[in-house]
């Protein structure tokens, strides 16, 4: 890459995309114009444009489950027409958005109160997977814009986790948001039942209807639980859990940052949808990023991709993208059900800079693994601490330059380093990074960023010829857990391998 820059003074300007408030620099990658042209040709051969039409048009592209994939419709304007089974779904989408806005504003301004007539002070979101990771990530990312409500998240079925949340809230002023499409997810239902009993012990059975709301479709079980039908927010089967924060799953987001900011989040995502749908492939941010991922994964053998946001606000973004990317594209059969003979998916990991520089950057700089990385930074700090921000961003820019340039043995020797230490202080360089420089962390810019990664996932699935939107891989462990739970409760171990049997005997002997 050093040679590429030395041979082309304009490389930094030629390998970038400027769109809206995004500046995407992919010049510090192992790419030439020929490489990019060939990768784009590959995308065309894979009929990416046709696939995008199906994606936005409501076709049943989640073929193994017979579902459309329309998280893009959740942020579409009211005047759009998107049809599933011949019906325009946009009026229904906006009916839910209006319900979210009305309810969240009522809780925020105190017109919707608890059973004791007091305003709510705390909200506990009970959900797992996409029903947790999206709301957690967004409310943490937009903490600068938070309302007076304190958000808490209860996801793991671990009872210690549940009790840690409950001991930090007060029954009289706590609202619970139970998020489960089926209202049968083991972790969520167990946690909701425990929270309900905790509330009933303090306030009585009649308090449940005023302290619990549900994001679900199972009206029978919701009614049995004691939740007021007026406080049920519907979900759709054409939205996968890991893409659902834009839906009623975003209720906790609207409560946490306010309905206006939630709407700005949706608008930002729609702006990225429009860019993705209408921009030529070589100037299309999600497309180019997906092509770069494929280039390293399938031609260089890179197995992971680091996501490194230079803002503490986005500390949950890597975890959120782990689910989005690894659950979507972690597939080993193609669309015809045949085993693939090439790599799909990639490992996603990361932490915010500059913390990560003092943790795992050693491996990226001087280790033996090729780890392409996304650096995400913002030009404008939210609190105006320019001195801090300049130091943060100096590191942001320096790391990508250092990873690309490295440090030769000749340079190390010229610094007067003792001969025996020279090999230890050499940096090979040639480490690829992509830099996303965004004007400011706002609800709209966050919406664009998340939608960008969603579309990148889609493009990768098309290039790898796999189905990105089913998730059969999460089912087997659930099935076995149900069987083993009965054995634990009954203190009777069934037929298992010797390892599992021994572990169960040891556990049951407590």
Tell me the CB-side half-sphere exposure of residue 464, using CA atoms within 13 A.
Answer: 33
User: How large a percentage of the chain has pLDDT more than 70?
Assistant: 100
Would residue 305 show up in a list of annotated catalytic residues for this protein?
A: no
0.85 exceeded by the pTM?
yes
Residue 481 pLDDT exceeds 80: yes
Cα angle 334-340-343, degrees, rounded to a multiple of 5: 110
Average pLDDT of span 278-299 = 98
Instruction: Please tell me the predicted confidence (pLDDT) of residue 509.
Output: 84
Would residue 358 show up in a list of annotated catalytic residues for this protein?
A: yes
414-442 pLDDT, tens per residue?
999 999 999 999 999 999 999 999 999 99
Instruction: Please tell me the predicted confidence (pLDDT) of residue 218.
Output: 87
Contacts of 289 (CB under 8 A, 6+ apart): 24, 26, 374, 434, 452, 456
Residue 494 pLDDT exceeds 90: no
The tokens describing 491, both together, are 């203190």
Average pLDDT of span 199-210 = 97
The full set of domain ranges for the chain reads: 2-60+279-464, 71-262, 473-508
278 in Cβ contact with 264 (< 8 Å) = no
Which whole-number Å values give the CA distances from 167 to 127, 170, 174, in the listed order? Answer: 18, 8, 12
Contacts of 387 (CB under 8 A, 6+ apart): none
Q: Is 292 helix (H, G, I), strand (E, B) or coil?
A: helix
More confident residue, 220 or 261: 261
Instruction: Please tell me the predicted confidence (pLDDT) of residue 124.
Output: 98
Instruction: Please tell me the predicted confidence (pLDDT) of residue 399.
Output: 98
Per-residue pLDDT band for 478 (boundaries 50, 70, 90) equals confident
**Tokens 């409760």 belong to which residue?**
489
Residue 510 pLDDT exceeds 80: no
Gap between the terminal Cα atoms of the chain: 59
Per-residue pLDDT band for 477 (boundaries 50, 70, 90) equals confident
Residue 43 pLDDT exceeds 80: yes
Average pLDDT of span 232-237 = 93
2 in Cβ contact with 404 (< 8 Å) = yes
Per-residue pLDDT band for 475 (boundaries 50, 70, 90) equals confident
Instruction: Point out the catalytic residue in the list 140, 187, 264, 327.
Output: 327
Rounded CA-CA distance 115/109 in Å is 16
Instruction: Please tell me the predicted confidence (pLDDT) of residue 462.
Output: 98
Instruction: Please tell me the predicted confidence (pLDDT) of residue 476.
Output: 82
Rounded CA-CA distance 393/440 in Å is 13
User: How large a percentage of the chain has pLDDT more than 90?
Assistant: 93
Cα angle 131-136-139, degrees, rounded to a multiple of 5: 125
Average pLDDT of span 266-274 = 98
Instruction: Please tell me the predicted confidence (pLDDT) of residue 80.
Output: 95
Would residue 327 show up in a list of annotated catalytic residues for this protein?
A: yes
Q: Give exposure, 285-295, as e/b (b: 16+ Cβ within 10 Å).
A: bbbbbbbbbbb
Q: Which residues, listed in sequence order, are joined to residue 375 by a DSSP beta bridge?
A: 308, 435
Rounded CA-CA distance 87/85 in Å is 6
228 in Cβ contact with 67 (< 8 Å) = no
Fold observed for domain 2-60+279-464: Rossmann fold (3.40.50)
Average pLDDT of span 103-115 = 98
Instruction: Please tell me the predicted confidence (pLDDT) of residue 245.
Output: 97
Instruction: Please tell me the predicted confidence (pLDDT) of residue 474.
Output: 81
How many distinct helices (H) and strands (E) make up the chain? Answer: 21, 13
Instruction: Please tell me the predicted confidence (pLDDT) of residue 419.
Output: 96
Per-residue pLDDT band for 280 (boundaries 50, 70, 90) equals very high
Instruction: Point out the catalytic residue in the list 50, 87, 283, 358.
Output: 358
303-342 pLDDT, tens per residue?
999 999 999 999 999 999 999 999 999 999 999 999 999 9
- In the 8-state DSSP scheme, what is residue 338? P
Rounded CA-CA distance 464/467 in Å is 9
The average confidence (pLDDT) of the chain is 96
Residue 446 pLDDT exceeds 90: yes
Residue 204 CB neighbour total at 10 angstroms: 10
Instruction: Point out the least confidently predicted range of 37-51, 83-97, 465-479.
Output: 465-479
Domain spanning 71-262, CATH architecture: 3-Layer(aba) Sandwich (3.40)
- Do 71-262 and 2-60+279-464 fall under one CATH topology? yes
Instruction: Point out the catalytic residue in the list 144, 388, 391, 478.
Output: 478
Average pLDDT of span 380-395 = 98
Instruction: Please tell me the predicted confidence (pLDDT) of residue 360.
Output: 97
């Amino acid at each position: 890459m050093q040679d590429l820059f030395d041979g082309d003074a304009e490389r930094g300007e030629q390998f970038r995309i400027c769109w809206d408030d995004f500046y995407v620099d992919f010049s510090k990658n192992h790419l030439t114009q020929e490489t990019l042209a060939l990768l784009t040709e590959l995308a065309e051969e894979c009929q990416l444009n046709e696939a995008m039409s199906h994606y936005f048009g409501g076709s049943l592209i989640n073929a193994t489950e017979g579902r459309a994939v329309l998280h893009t419709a959740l942020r579409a304007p009211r005047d759009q027409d998107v049809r599933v089974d011949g019906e325009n779904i946009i009026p229904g989408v906006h009916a839910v958005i209006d319900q979210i806005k009305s309810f969240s504003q009522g809780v925020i301004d105190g017109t919707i109160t608890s059973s004791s007539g007091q305003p709510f002070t705390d909200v506990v979101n009970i959900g797992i997977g996409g029903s947790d990771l999206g709301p957690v990530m967004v409310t943490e990312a937009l903490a600068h814009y938070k309302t007076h409500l304190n958000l808490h998240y209860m996801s793991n079925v671990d009872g210690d986790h549940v009790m840690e949340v409950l001991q930090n809230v007060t029954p009289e002023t706590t609202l619970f948001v139970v998020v489960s499409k089926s209202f049968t997810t083991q972790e969520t239902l167990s946690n909701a039942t425990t929270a309900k009993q905790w509330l009933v012990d303090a306030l009585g059975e009649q308090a449940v209807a005023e302290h619990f709301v549900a994001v679900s479709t199972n009206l029978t079980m919701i009614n049995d639980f004691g939740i007021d039908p007026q406080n049920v927010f519907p979900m759709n089967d054409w939205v996968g859990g890991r893409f659902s924060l834009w839906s009623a799953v975003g209720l906790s987001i609207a409560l946490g940052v306010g309905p206006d900011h939630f709407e700005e989040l949706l608008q930002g995502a729609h702006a990225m949808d429009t860019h993705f749908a209408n921009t030529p492939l070589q100037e299309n941010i999600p497309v180019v990023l997906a092509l770069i991922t494929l280039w390293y994964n399938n031609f260089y053998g890179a197995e992971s991709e680091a996501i490194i946001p230079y803002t503490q606000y986005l500390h949950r973004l890597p975890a959120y993208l782990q689910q989005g990317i690894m659950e979507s594209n972690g597939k080993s059969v193609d669309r015809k059900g045949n085993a693939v003979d090439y790599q799909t998916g990639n490992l996603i990991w990361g932490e915010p800079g500059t913390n990560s520089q003092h943790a795992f950057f050693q491996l990226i700089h001087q280790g033996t693994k090729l780890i392409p990385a996304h650096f995400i930074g913002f030009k404008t700090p939210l609190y105006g601490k320019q001195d801090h921000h300049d130091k943060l961003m100096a590191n942001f820019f320096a790391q990508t330059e250092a990873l690309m340039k490295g440090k030769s043995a000749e340079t190390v020797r010229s610094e007067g380093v003792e001969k025996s230490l020279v090999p230890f202080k050499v940096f090979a360089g040639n480490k690829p990074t992509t830099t996303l420089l965004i004007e400011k962390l706002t609800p709209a810019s966050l919406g664009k960023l998340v939608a960008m990664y969603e579309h990148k996932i889609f493009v990768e699935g098309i290039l790898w010829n796999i189905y990105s939107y089913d998730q059969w891989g999460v089912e087997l462990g659930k099935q076995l857990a149900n069987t083993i739970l009965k054995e634990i409760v009954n203190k009777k171990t069934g037929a298992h391998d010797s390892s599992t049997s021994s572990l169960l005997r040891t556990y049951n002997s407590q």
